Amino acid sequence: MMVRSRWLVVGCILIAIGFGLCILGYNKMQPSGLDHAVGVLEAVSGEKAPSGLKTDKTEGYVLIAAGAVSFFVGVGLTLKRR
Q: Quick one: 35 exposed, middle or buried, by C-beta within 10 A (0-12, 13-18, 19+)? A: middle
In tens, the pLDDT along 38-73 reads 778 788 888 887 777 777 889 999 999 999 999 999
Q: What pTM, to 2 d.p., does this model score?
A: 0.77
Output the CA–CA distances (angstroms, integers) from residue 69 to 20, 22, 25, 47, 58, in the order listed.
12, 10, 13, 39, 17
Ranges of each domain in the chain:
2-79
* pLDDT tens figures, 5-47: 888 889 999 999 999 999 999 999 888 777 778 778 788 888 8
Using CA atoms, how far residue 56 sits from 14, 28, 47, 51, in Å, is 27, 9, 20, 9
